[in-house]
C-alpha cells in the first residue's frame, strides 16, 4: 500500500522543484562558474611560473611587473581562495555538528582564506615593485 503524492520524480514533473540539482543552488552555480574561471587562470599562472624557473630574480621581477601576468596571478590567488573558502564552508556545514564549533570553524575558514589571499597579492606586489 502506498500513500498518494504529487511528487513524481526528481527530474521532471511536479517534483523537480524539490531537487537541488534540477536548477542548482546559488552555491553550486558559484562553484561551477568560479571553476570555469579558475581553469584558464590556473593554466596561465602555471605557464608563467614554470617559464620563470631557473631565471634570475631580476628577470622574474620584470616579468611579474608587467600588468597582465600580475593581474592573472592576483586573480588566480583571490578567486582560488574564494572558491576554496566556499568549498570548505560546505564541508564544515555538512560534517561539523556542534553549533558553537561550527561557527568558530566558519569564522576561522573566512579569516584564513582572506589572510592567505592578501598575503599572496601583497607578495606579488613586493616582487613586482620596482626598486
Give the model confidence (pLDDT) of 68-115 as tens digits: 998 999 999 999 999 999 999 999 998 999 999 999 999 999 999 999
Domain count, the chain: 1
| DSSP string computed for 7-47 | ---SSSGGGGGG-HHHH--HHHHHHHHHHHHHHHHHHHHHH
User: Is position 18 within any domain?
Assistant: no
User: Is position 48 within any domain?
Assistant: yes
Give the pLDDT of residue 9: 52
CATH of the domain at 73: 1.20.1300
User: Is position 11 within any domain?
Assistant: no
Give the pLDDT of residue 22: 47
9-18, 58-67, 80-89, 121-130: least confident range: 9-18
User: Is position 4 within any domain?
Assistant: no
Amino acid at each position: 500500500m502506498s500513500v498518494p503524492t504529487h511528487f513524481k520524480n526528481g527530474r521532471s514533473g511536479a517534483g523537480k522543484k524539490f531537487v537541488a540539482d534540477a536548477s542548482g543552488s546559488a552555491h553550486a552555480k558559484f562553484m561551477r562558474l568560479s571553476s570555469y574561471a579558475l581553469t584558464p587562470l590556473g593554466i596561465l599562472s602555471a605557464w608563467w611560473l614554470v617559464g620563470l624557473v631557473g631565471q634570475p630574480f631580476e628577470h622574474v621581477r620584470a616579468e611579474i611587473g608587467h600588468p597582465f601576468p600580475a593581474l592573472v596571478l592576483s586573480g588566480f590567488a583571490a578567486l582560488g581562495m574564494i572558491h576554496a573558502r566556499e568549498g570548505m564552508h560546505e564541508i564544515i556545514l555538512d560534517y561539523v555538528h556542534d553549533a558553537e564549533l561550527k561557527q568558530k570553524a566558519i569564522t576561522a575558514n573566512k579569516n584564513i582564506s582572506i589572510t592567505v589571499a592578501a598575503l599572496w597579492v601583497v607578495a606579488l606586489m613586493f616582487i613586482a615593485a620596482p626598486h
